[in-house]
Each structure stands twice: as C-alpha cells, then as structure tokens.
Structure 1
Amino acid sequence: MAEVVFTFETFLTIVISLLIITLNCLILMVACWTHSFRNVNRCFLFSMIASDLFMGIFVTPFSIFNSLYNKWIFNSNAFCYIEGYLTAIFLISGLYSLTWMNVDHYVAIRKPERYKVVMSAPRSACWVIFAWIAAICFSCPPLFSLKKARYYAEAFICVIDAKPQRYYFLTAGSLVTIPCVLTLVFTNVYLFTKSYQTRLNIYQRVFTDRATRPWNYHISMVVSVVYTATWTPFCVLRLYEVAHNYQVYTPTLLHFYFFWLGISNSFIKFFIYLIMSREFRDGLYEVFNAGSLDCSCSGCASSSSNVNINHITNSKMDYMKSKEPLQNV
C-alpha cells in the first residue's frame, strides 16, 4: 500500500470540507430557526445552500483520502464516475439557484406590486425543480455512458472527462452557463441604473415592511461577484489548455489551488452574510443562544400560521398603496 503523506494540500482539503459543512449548516439553522432572511426567497436560498452543503458531504471529503495517498485509492471506478457527475450537478444547481435569487430581487424591486404573484412559492419551487433537473440532465450518466469521468489528480477529485467529446461539452456547457452569466450581469447592473434609484425611493416609501429587500439585493450582487472571482481563474486555466489541445505545461499546484479556490465559494457566502447582513448576525446570535429558540422552522411556521393568514390581505393593501405612486412614475 502506498505511503501516507500529510501535505499542505491535505490540510487545505480538510479545512475547506469542514468549513463547507459547518458554515452551511449554520446558515440553514439561521434561516429555519430565526426570522432572518425575511425578505429573501427561501426556496432559492435553500436550494443554493443545499448544493453547497452536498458538495461538502458527498464530494470534497473523499479528496482528503486521495491527497493523503496522492492517488485514487478507491477500488471501484464507478465511484469515480458518480463523484464526477455529482460535482457537476452541485455546481450547476448552485449557479442556477444564485441566478434565480438575483432575478427574485430584481422582480421585487422592479415590480413590487406583482412580486407575490410572479414569484409565488409554487412558482419558485417549480424553478428550483427545473434548476436541479437541468443540472441532472447535463450530467446524467445514461446520456454520456458511465465511462466519461476521470480522476483529476492535480486536484485530488473526479470530474467529467470532456476530452472525448470536447466540442460537445463546450457547447452544452455554454448553453448551461451563458444564460446564467448574462442574467447575473443584467440583474446586478440594474442596481447602478437611474431606474433602480427611482424604484428604490418608491419602494422605501410604500413597502416599509420590506425595507431590507434592497440591501439583500446588494448582498446577492456581492455573492455573485465573489462567485465569479473564485471560479474565473480555474475556467481560464482550463480554456487555455483546451485552446492548446492540452499540449502546454501548467504547474500541478496551479490546478490544485485554482480548483479549490472555486470550491471555497461554497462557504464564503457565510462570511458575506456575516459582514453585510445585520439580520443574519442577529439570527446567528439567536442560534448560539439556543435556549431562547423555539427550534421549529420559522419559515415552515410562517406558511401555516398568522403570517399566511394575512398574506392575501397584506398583498392587496400593498397593491392599493403602491398603485397611485407607481402610475405617476
């Protein structure tokens, strides 16, 4: 059996895996047990956090053992294929969920009087289901056979092997990512337009119960920028290799650090919420003082208790208050 060697890369994989699991569990606890994220669509939030958490549970921990032995140590190649497909599924579903969160904020600011109809809970759930189905279909083993994954030794992880059908995967990947990227750009650029400032003034006067929504929109923009910044180096590196038909030499450590920089995006959201969201900090304080918590999902309770009873009434009142000012705009 190969000798066990504990390297700095092993240490990083352990730290990143623990951070992904721990910090995403804390976000879920804050979202479920407190009244934080009141003006965030929780369907999209839970979908995004779930994709990150699953990455830390079903993918990254196995890289720890691979880095210790500096090779693929599991006997079954089918396990490598499954890990490669799961990695793609979680990455794509996370990107779609982040995109829909930005769209949700855009609609809430741009058309607040129709928001509860356009982005209702059933419709949001449908979009989440669509996001996961799209991710699964892109990575579905029956479509590409069970022999289109490989062990990415530089990063100690299994990935879908695009070499046999390079141009097909470039096309399919573009169809998956480009619409999301364009949507993220459009919805985030809207924050800097005059139209947003006009709508913001109306929003703050009329929809006082949703006063934190604009700031949550800005937080989602920061999450989007960080997501792009963490994955861009790895994507550029891989495209550079593809453009040169994999005939160029790139340092092994460059592959490792660029890939795991992208994976680290799965826990960086916690620190963004911690720094930018006072609601999240208050909710986190409540979680750590668990003795005062009801330990029942506040999001679930709100859908079946008093909040839901007044949902239609509040929607009508908001619409009547906003109708006249919006017509003047």
Structure 2
Amino acid sequence: MSTKYEKQNDFRQKLPWLEEWRFLANNHTTSLIDVINVKLTKNEESELNELPVESKNEFINNGKVEQIITSSTFRAPFNNYPTVPSHQNSIATNFGIADQSAGLISIFGLSVSSEKLAYISVIILITALLIISSVLTVAVIVTSPQLKDIIGYYLISLSVSDLLCGTLITPVSIYAVLDENWPTAYSEILCRIEVYIELVLLSVVLYIFMWISVDRYILLTRPGRYEAEQTLTRCKCWAMFTWVTSLVLCCPVLFNELQAQYDRYAFLCVLDCTKMMPYAITMALLVIIPSLICISYSYFSIFITLRNPDELEDTYKGQLQADRSFVITFFIILTFVISWMPLIIVRLTELIFRVIIQVPSLHFTLVWLGIGSGFWKFVIYWMMSAKFRNALKSLFLLTWCDTEQELP
C-alpha cells in the first residue's frame, strides 16, 4: 500500500508545473508578473539543452525562447523552502515560448508587443506634429512682412525650440521603446546630452514666455513709450541672450554623471534632482521662479487693466480691440501650463504624501502630454490670427504656383 509521501510524489510527477509554481510563489524576490507568467516547460528545456551551440542560438534568435532565467536568479529567501527543483539549468518563461501566439511584431529585428507599438505610435505622432507645426510657423512668419513684429520673433524662438525637441529628443525615445537595453548598451554620455538639450529648451521656453509677458505689459501700461523701449533690435538681443544663457546654465549636466537617469516609463533621460539638489535649486532660482513670477504679475496686471478700460485713452482702446496678440500670447502660455500641470500635480502628490504612483501608462501619458504642448501654439495662432491664416494660405499658394511654373 502506497504511503502518503509516495502519493504526493506521484501527484507531483503528473503535474510537474505545480511544484514550479510553488517554487516561484514562495520567492518574494520575484514580481507578480513573474509569478503569473512563468510556465516551466521541462521537455522543451531538455530539448534545448541537448541541441548544439549553433542550433541553440538559432532556436533562441527565432523567437522561440526569448528569455532564459537561470536558477541563480532565484537565490534569495525562499521562506525556508527545502530544495530547488531538479531542472536548475534554465527556466524558459512563456514570454518567449508564446512569442508567436502573443502577436508580437518584429521591427528592425526587435520583437514589439502591442503595448510598445501603442507607445511608438504616440511618440511618432507627437514628433510629426512638433516638426510640421514648427516648420510651418517659422516659414509663415519669415515670409510674411505683417507678422515680423516682436511677438513674431519670439514665436520663432519658441518654434525653433519645438523643432529641436522633435528632431533631437523624441526620435531617441522611439529607439528606446524598441530596444530595452538602450540605457546600458550605449554610453551614458548620450543620456547626459539628451538631458542637456531638454534643460536648454525648457529654459528657452520659460524665458521667452517671460519676455512676451513683459512686452505685453509695457504695451498696455506704457503705450506711449512702447515703441521706444521695445524695438526689433532689442527683441533680437533678448532672444539671443536667452539662448546663450540657457546653453551656459545647463552645461554642468554634461560634466556630471550623477545628473542624468533613464526614465523607463517615459522612455526619456531626465535630470536626477535627488542626487544634485544644489544644481536643481540653482536652476529653479535663475529660470523657473523668476519666469513664473514675472508671467503671473504681468498678466494679472493686464487683466486688471482690461477690466477697467475706461481708464485708458480712446486711442489705446481702439488699439486693444484691434490687437489680438494679448489673447493669443495668453492662450499660448496657458496651454503650456495646462499640458504640464497634471504631471506636476502627480509629482507634488508623491512628494507631499510620500507615496509612489507607479502606473507606467499614466506616467507615459502625462510626460508626453507636456512634450506635445508645443503643437498647440500653431493651432492657437491659426485660430485667433487672421493675418497668420492669410499668410499661411499665401505660402501654400506661392509654393503651388512656383511648382506649376517649373513643370514643363
């Protein structure tokens, strides 16, 4: 008569995967995904181990086994589980075995899941919108004499920053989604360069917003002295000063390895403020805080003045009614703030309540919502400026006519 121990062994032989499930379930070092997804296939492992080295590599490269986890991965506290199962050579997860059934798509020799494909689609869409809107905005303003005013030159600076973001930053994220080993496969210098460009573009945008708010404030509060104080030459000098200052202030990122870290949820390299808090505070004091104070004060004063139009002279009242640049610039700044506000709220929530919100899709959405804020400048300018719409039509008509004339 068989004993209880022999029945238990016989049961485990009939259901070998049950023993492996218990093995993983008692391992606290594994994640929930590992516990749910890991399926041990003893027969296929033995077949894989019996293959020659060349055939085994071909077997793996074909996508049949994507991930091999050795038994050393689980050498952690097992809740005093007595022994490790006999198949200690390798453990094949169902990520690779079910590669074909999972509907993975191969792009440039890399397997991409449906989730990653969605991330790539969003990044490509935002990249295309940034590049197209920036090129159109610059082309329209440069080719239209009516738009070559102070606000026009400031918008060119903003569009150039969006164009650089769409050509130097977002394309790298596409490759980062495809290749999970991107942060380790390449030098950390590339990551620091990406963080440097991000900080430069952010500083340029905040400074330009500040100059725009100051320009609108002077036009409204001191209209008689506006033409003398705000000239095109001075505007160009402020724009050049903004770019040079931003390039210099962000240089320490290039020479310090501790300031760049890879955000695996947003597929971007970002500044590690926790390790370089003095530099982060310096950037806040020199760029972020002055810009926010100046923008808030200027537009608050503008709204107070617009609510009491009787205090203005009749000449300036007509000028304000005809000039829609106040509304255009305000909505451009407002869309930028709204786009980044959800991410800021989440970060502040984590900081105040000392919690970590780890939802990859949410984090990705909030980050790229802010990055795509540059596209809304083109939309707002097109909707609220009749001069911009006419100049855009003229640009397309001019291009089309030139193309027709060149045809034989």
Matched letter for residue 228 of structure 1: V
For residues 249 and 347 of structure 2, what CA distance do their matches in structure 1 show?
19
Shift, 1:131, TM fit:
1.9
For residues 263 and 239 of structure 1, what CA distance do their matches in structure 2 show?
19
**Structure 2 residues not aligned, in runs of 5+:** 1-108, 403-408
For residues 176 and 138 of structure 1, what CA distance do their matches in structure 2 show?
9
Number of matched residues?
289
Q: Is the 8 A contact 1:51 1:94 kept in 2?
A: yes
Map residues 28-43 of structure 1 onto 2, 5 A cutoff.
Answer: 28-43=138-153
Q: 169, 179, 191: which one pairs with 1:80?
A: 191
Are the structure 2 counterparts of residues 21 and 292 from structure 1 closer, same or farther at C-alpha, using a change threshold of 3 Å? closer
Residue 316 of structure 1 is matched in structure 2 by: none
Are the structure 2 counterparts of residues 116 and 194 from structure 1 closer, same or farther at C-alpha, using a change threshold of 3 Å? closer
Residue 15 of structure 1 is matched in structure 2 by: 125
Q: Is the 8 A contact 1:37 1:280 kept in 2?
A: yes
For residues 287 and 126 of structure 1, what CA distance do their matches in structure 2 show?
28
Are the structure 2 counterparts of residues 220 and 142 from structure 1 closer, same or farther at C-alpha, using a change threshold of 3 Å? closer
Residue 234 of structure 1 is matched in structure 2 by: 343
Map residues 30-179 of structure 1 onto 2, 5 A cutoff.
Answer: 30-72=140-182, 75-141=186-252, 145-166=256-277, 168-170=279-281, 172-179=283-290
Shift, 1:264, TM fit:
0.9
Residue 301 of structure 1 is matched in structure 2 by: none
CA RMSD in angstroms comes to 2.6
Matched letter for residue 257 of structure 1: T
Normalised to the residue count of structure 1, the TM-score between the two structures is: 0.79
Please give the per-residue CA displacement for 1:251-277, whole angstroms capped at 9, x wherever unaligned. Answer: 122211111111111111111111111
Please give the per-residue CA displacement for 1:155-212, whole angstroms capped at 9, x wherever unaligned. Answer: 111112112123651453244212211222222223322466233743245x6xx974
Q: Is the 8 A contact 1:3 1:69 kept in 2?
A: no
Q: Is the 8 A contact 2:265 2:363 kept in 1?
A: yes
For residues 237 and 152 of structure 1, what CA distance do their matches in structure 2 show?
16
SS in 2 for 1:3: strand
Residue 52 of structure 2 is matched in structure 1 by: none
Residue 359 of structure 2 is matched in structure 1 by: 251
Residue 312 of structure 2 is matched in structure 1 by: 199
Please give the per-residue CA displacement for 1:17-57, whole angstroms capped at 9, x wherever unaligned. Answer: 00000011000111011234255433322211111111111
Of structures 1 and 2, the one scoring higher in RCO (CA 8 A, sep 6+) is 1
Shift, 1:63, TM fit:
0.8
Are the structure 2 counterparts of residues 293 and 33 from structure 1 closer, same or farther at C-alpha, using a change threshold of 3 Å? farther
For residues 175 and 239 of structure 1, what CA distance do their matches in structure 2 show?
21
Residue 57 of structure 2 is matched in structure 1 by: none
For residues 138 and 57 of structure 1, what CA distance do their matches in structure 2 show?
22
Are the structure 2 counterparts of residues 54 and 262 from structure 1 closer, same or farther at C-alpha, using a change threshold of 3 Å? same
Shift, 1:133, TM fit:
3.0
Larger Rg: 2
**Structure 1 residues not aligned, in runs of 5+:** 295-329
Residue 286 of structure 1 is matched in structure 2 by: 394
Normalised to the residue count of structure 2, the TM-score between the two structures is: 0.64
Quote the sequence identity (%): 29
Shift, 1:116, TM fit:
2.1
